[in-house]
Structures are given as structure tokens and as C-alpha cells.
Structure 1
């Protein structure tokens, strides 16, 4: 570590972070998948105490433009955790991850903040992958979404006495995700509030078997995805709070598609075993639902979040 305690005014980094879908049916609070919709932002160090925030894209009208902004709070947390003084910040962001729809928008913001802080601190404090995950988990509270947002691919996340950990796996090339996004939103807090403190033992055993099978299906045998995405721990309990989502999941599964609630909902994720099958799923949704659903034909993001330094004054989000 060097002697510097704050980055030079004008130092700027560009960050790109993918959407994520957690749970994937049976893998409650442990499995997550990175998807190819992105938040992009440029963060520039300003003199201490200054703050400028510009946000476009999903949820822009409801996002605060002060120190309560999640990315700003995350950057400050990382600086404080490593004994550094956070600079003033100029944040220019475009949100490509749908907000409040179960696609990891808050995890994307937290991951973006951690990566931005790491970029601004580079050369003074060099954060490891373990540091990145620990900092993100500190803010987000659980690692199932932030792990794939940071590292990409399919991730298994867990916490022990030493902190959060993850294992990244490569997804079989035959897996073709499609997400159906409704106009309505659902807060994660509300979605969790309907879950009871206990589940029957047979339901726990059921989900253990399906979670193990899901790893095999996503990495080796996509033909097993329908059986592997069955769940008894959380989706049925949440059904009453998002009836249109539950109706769509049931209809898709009855037609043979591996459909699940994406994260806490209300979006629906289908893990098809090929591009042709996901196109069939999209046609089915269009034919059976009176509710408007935006169809996102996405790829699995294998790269995860990225950060790079940008030239001074290049305060634009480009890819």
C-alpha cells in the first residue's frame, strides 16, 4: 500500500455490471446466474464533500441524487473499510437492469460500487476477489446475487465463520435464458416477509435433490432442466403476492418449460435448452397472457462486472 489516502481529483473509472437471477427455482439464497443486461457507470473523484449524480434508464425517476444513493454508500463503505477517506464523487449511470423486477438491480448497484471503489483505490489498496465479495455482502446482506454480478456465470454462494464465499461454474452452451418482465414491481423485503421460519423436512429434502440436479443440468445436461428447477421452499409461499407471475410459471411448466420466479420476482425466468425452445416459450406467453410481459432474450454473462480507468474528462458510459 502506498501513502496516498484519497485518489487524485479527476481520476475516473468506467464500470459495467450484469443483471442476475437468484434462486433459479430450488437454489434458494445460494445459486445465482449472471445475465446479459447491464448497468454502466462512470465514477470520477471530485474534491471532498462534492457530489454529482446523473442517472438514466430503468428506475431513474425514483433513484435518489444524494448521499443515500446505493452506489455512493457502497463506495464510501469500501473506502472506510480500508481506512481511506472517500473523495467527492461524480456518478454518471445508465441502468439497463430492470429495477424491482427480480433481476438483481440492487446487487448490480452494490457490485458496481465495490468495483468503482476498487478502481479508484488501485495502486493504493488492491482488492482481491475475496475482498470484493466481502465488501458487497456487507452492504447487500447476502451473496447470492452479488457473486454472479461480480464474477459472472453460474455461482454457488455460501457464508461461514470467515465470511462469504463463492464458486463459479461454466454454464452449458445449450442453456438459453429468456426473461419475461411485467410492468409491476416487487420489493425483496416484501417477498421475504411471506416466508415462514420453518419448512417441512420432506420439502427441504426435495429441494436438496433438485439443487444438486440443477448444477448438473446447467453445466452438463440441459435436458434435465424442467425437473431440476422444481421448488418447494419459496415460490409457492410467494404465489399469492404475485398471482400473475405464479399463473405464468405454472402455464409454462405445464407446457414443458423450465420456468421459475426470477429472484424475489415478479419476473419469470425460463431456462430453455436451446434458442428454438425459448422462442417457443415467448410465443406461448404472448398467446396465453392478458398481462403485458416484456420479453428479454438474454445470454449467460460469463465475464461478470468489469472496471477500467478512463481518461480524465471522459465522463461518458461507453462499452
Structure 2
């Protein structure tokens, strides 16, 4: 165990998962951040935050539960949390807490966990690797997780590319999520083909082809445009401006469109007068992932 003679500051980016047909395998990190300051040792865990009354301030907090799952011998500390990642809006708020907990456990426990070990631990907690991999590594990540082994490759995004994120003010009319629970073999082949081309395009820096593949809707429920009507509205206006690369998050709460700052500002201006009930935010892509520093 290390002695805490100075504060440790953990910063974790927001994430979005399921780019196109990359269900539970492709994620991306955004420049909205969840920051945790690890302060003095305490008799009991104390998590200071202003994130809402439903989020615990004690050992029941997800950060602390993650820390103790990694190393149950770590002594209680005071943690202070600040976040501009919206909760329950499909941008990985819970994933940021898990990633922060892993980073804190690694530091306080002097565990020397590799990034692969951290991704594996987070994947086991979340049940899939896409969100935690992007939170820890940044950029777009492509991951495989079978319940035990996690393997991830980081794909760079062009520096000029940003994201326009639409956050729905209301809960979409979805029983579970935007994806079908069962698909035919032909649909599976189409989805696999689209995902293969998407990953190949990302790795070869063919961004235009990648964004076209992100818009393939093979896995979406058949009535996706009824469930999330803003998706078709945003895509329509984006296409009129020559912008491709719009997809809806797994929960249906967020719709993301990729483009340059100039393109996305044009789209935001158009959408500001469209019939959609939500907030629009122009956000940078995070290229670095979770960071740890002392103060």
C-alpha cells in the first residue's frame, strides 16, 4: 500500500457505445469528464458530490464498490467527485465511476495493473468491454470480451473530427434498448459485414467510409424511428448538409453525429429550429483516456 502524502486526481472521459453495428464492442470517448480527488484516509468512506440524492456518499457508492472489488484491503478515504457527464443519458456515467474506481484501487493498493488488466477488470464488472476500454484508453476502441478475456485495439480518430451530441430531455419509449433481441442469419451477416468494414475503415483512416457504416441500422428495432423520432430528423438534416456518421446510443437517450467544427455548427443551427425536444452540445473527442496525477 502507498501512503497518501498528496492528493491523487483521477479524470475519466464520458463514453458512448454501439457505434453503428458495433454492439457491445465499439466505443468512443468524449471530452466530458468525471473527476475524482482522492484525499485523506478516514475511518469510513466519504464520497463528496453534488450529483443527486440517489447517489450514495458512503461505501455503497459505485466508485468505492469498484475499489473494494479490486482490493478489499484498501483503507477508507475521502473522495470528492466533480462531473459534467450527464447521468442516465447514454454517455457512460456509471462507466466513468467504475474506471475511476479501478484507477484509485491501482494507485492506493500499489497494484501495478496494466491497462489490459484494468480493461479486463472493468469488463467483468460491466459485462462488456466497449465502454470501459474507451474510458481508459480514449479515442475509438474495438473490443472482444467473452466473460473472462478482454482484448482491445485502439483506433485513432482524425484530429479535425468532433461530435454533436443530442441529449433527449425525455425517456425514449423503449422496453429495453434500441437493439433487436433476435435477428435472422441474413441480418447477422449484414451486421457483421458492416462492422468489419467500419473497423477496417477506422484502421486505414478512411473516415468517410467509417461514418457510412456507422449509419447501418441492422440491429436497431424495426420501429426505431417511432421509438426515437429525433434520429431520423437529425440524420435527414445532416445528410442535406453532406454530413454522415449519426447513430443513437444503446439506451436511446443520446444521438451522436460526427463532423468537423464547421459542419457541426451548421447542423446545430439547423436543428435549433427543428421539432426536437432536447439539448445539443458540440463536444471534442477525447484522445487520451483516463488520467492519474498527483497534486
Match of 1:152 in 2: 138
Instruction: For 1:193-212, list aligned pairs within 5 A.
Output: 195-196=180-181, 198-212=182-196
Alignment root-mean-square deviation, CA:
2.6
Match of 1:229 in 2: 214
* Deviation (angstroms), 1:247: 4.1
2:54 pairs with 1:62: yes
1-structure distance, mates of 2:60, 2:218: 33
Which secondary structure state, in structure 1, belongs to the residue aligned with residue 30 of structure 2?
strand
CA contact (8 A) 1:12 1:120 kept: no
CA contact (8 A) 1:203 1:232 kept: no
Which secondary structure state, in structure 1, belongs to the residue aligned with residue 292 of structure 2?
strand
* Deviation (angstroms), 1:31: 0.4
CA contact (8 A) 1:22 1:33 kept: yes
2:102 pairs with 1:114: yes
Instruction: For 1:204-283, list aligned pairs within 5 A.
Output: 204-219=188-203, 220-236=205-221, 239=224, 242-252=227-237, 255=240, 256=242, 257-272=244-259, 274-283=260-269
2:283 pairs with 1:295: no
Structure 1 length normalisation: TM-score? 0.82
Which secondary structure state, in structure 2, belongs to the residue aligned with residue 296 of structure 1?
strand
How many residues are treated as equivalent by the alignment? Answer: 292
CA contact (8 A) 2:31 2:286 kept: yes
Cα-to-partner distance string for 1:93-134 (whole Å, 9 max, x where unaligned): 011111111111111110011011112123xx2111122112
2:67 pairs with 1:75: yes
Which secondary structure state, in structure 2, belongs to the residue aligned with residue 157 of structure 1?
strand
2-structure distance, mates of 1:199, 1:31: 19
* Deviation (angstroms), 1:288: 1.5
Q: In structure 2, do the counterparts of structure 1 residues 161 and 65 end up closer, same or farther at CA, with 3 Å as the change threshold?
A: closer
Any unmatched runs of 5+ in structure 1?
311-319
* Deviation (angstroms), 1:186: 6.6
2:77 pairs with 1:89: yes
1-structure distance, mates of 2:227, 2:71: 39
Q: In structure 2, do the counterparts of structure 1 residues 25 and 153 end up closer, same or farther at CA, with 3 Å as the change threshold?
A: same
* Deviation (angstroms), 1:302: 0.9
Any unmatched runs of 5+ in structure 2?
none
2:18 pairs with 1:41: no
1:164 aligns with one of 150, 174, 184: 150
1-structure distance, mates of 2:174, 2:103: 23
Q: In structure 2, do the counterparts of structure 1 residues 148 and 128 end up closer, same or farther at CA, with 3 Å as the change threshold?
A: same
Q: In structure 2, do the counterparts of structure 1 residues 216 and 176 end up closer, same or farther at CA, with 3 Å as the change threshold?
A: farther
